[in-house]
Amino acid sequence: MSNKSVKSCLDISNSIVKGEIDLSSFYDEFYEEMDKLTSRNYIITQAPKNKTQERIKELEEEAKKDKDILKKKPLLGIPVTIKDCITTKGIRTTAGSKILDEYIPVFDATVVEKIQEAGGIIVGKTSMDEFGFGTFSTNCAYGIPKNPFDIERSCGGSSGGSCGFAGKISLPHIAVAESTGGSISCPSSFCGVFGITPTYGRVSRWGMIDYASSFDKIGTVGTNLEDALLLLNVISGIDKRDSTTVESEKIVLDKEKQKNISIAIPKEYIDAIENKDVLNQFNNAKESLKKQGVKIEEVSLKTTKYAVSCYYIIAMAEASTNLAKYCGLRYGMQEDPKNLHFDKYFSQIRTKYFGTETKRRSIIGTYIRMAGFRDKYYLKAMQVRTLIIKDFKRIFEKYDAILSPTMPIIAPKFSEIEKLSPKQIYSLDILTVGPNLAGFPTISVPFGKAENMPVGMQLIGNHLCEEKIANIASLIKD
């Protein structure tokens, strides 16, 4: 079997068991293509090729001895990229920031451990907005990833490298991404790939470099739904090192579960769509589902107008707390203090190695948490967060899922992004921050194009209802 005839990640695993693929040759070609994409800035750090070859030999030997190996190692031989905010033993992990430029972890994150135990092969660390702060991956200290369809446009953020690489490389691979307020959904939509953001707590965050601890969720990206679900099933489950994790059942696509479906469409989400072509594609997706017997009704999600401000108040407050440790003492880049007072030394380090957006969020977040402002902003936002959750829950009492476009626009050009203010950029997250505030699972499904660029459709489900929205997602086809 030739490498080009391998169409999905499952093909790789099955071909290894049958002895139909030369895995070393496959990875030689994979790394060769990865090298050709260097100018697109998808990968910050490649995994060592010699380590990959050692891993290949180990897996091939295991496959020869055990014909039922896929039951133990469902990711057998599959290449996986990891977003650079997730620690990988022996492979540099920067979170897209120069302050962690020299950080090489001595341990793997839980998700990385699970991937390796399942037979997956880590091939590289993908680029991202610094600490996840951004909508377009333009805040990455290691180069801005370029959209796989148009190099003058953004991949989206903050998991831009994950989605851009998945959308461009021709050989099968799955990506581990991470979301705080839409960081998987947004780039998935812009790059034309499937992006799954699970329920908060379904996947362990142990070993992840935090942005906002009560929002962060590790998810998956693939060029097809089955590959993305395969990886999610592997990395899900309880982890004793992360007290927020919950037990979750394996997600299965089943035609019987694709019947008698009812979907809600919030009027406020439709009103937020800025691009008419995106709205047209949404209407096409809606009609396609109706023809398949899906019941669709318009509803009101009145708390939508508060979601963006609520999200950024809480997220920035948590971010400033998580950033405090990067001061050049125990964490982050270090320099000769030159008898400086520790305040001046810390400020010097953070000024030099933090990017503009990181400084902005650190300052605003610290302000929000200050005495006199905490009650006025942070605690009020937490109360609003509860109301947003209740508003979603009310809809899920009657409907299986919520449907909307993933983003109100297509991937913008970098020249257009430069003209946007921070407030305008933040407001583009209006369709993704609500479910992230509430910890709900979402799936971004590619559907059609607008101005020759991909458009994504977003499905939002109730807590731990990934299987339900995955089965609905399988019905959304061009």
Is beta strand 217-222 parallel, antiparallel or unpaired with respect to 79-83?
unpaired
Q: Is there a catalytic annotation at residue 183?
A: yes
Task: Tell me how far CA of residue 182 lies from CA of 216, 265, 347, 432, in angstroms.
Answer: 10, 18, 31, 5
Q: How many CB atoms lie within 10 A of CB 338?
A: 8
Q: What is the dihedral of CA 410, 413, 417, 423, to 10 degrees?
A: -10
Give the DSSP letter of residue 154: B
CB 410 within 8 A of CB 453: yes
Q: Is there a catalytic annotation at residue 83?
A: yes
User: Among 137, 158, 189, 320, which one carries the catalytic annotation?
Assistant: 158
For residue 205, which of 196, 215, 195, 218 has the smallest C-alpha distance?
A: 218
Write b or e for each residue in 437-465: b if 16 or more Cβ atoms lie within 10 A of its Cβ, otherwise e: bbbbbbbbbbbbbbeebbbbbbbbbbbbb
User: Among 97, 154, 183, 444, which one carries the catalytic annotation?
Assistant: 183
User: Among 13, 15, 83, 248, which one carries the catalytic annotation?
Assistant: 83
Give the DSSP letter of residue 378: I
Local structure of 316: helix, strand or coil: helix
Q: What CA–CA distance (Å, rounded) separates 83 from 372?
A: 37
CB 175 within 8 A of CB 162: yes
Q: Which residues pair with 43 in a beta bridge?
A: 126
Q: Which residues are catalytic?
A: 83, 158, 183
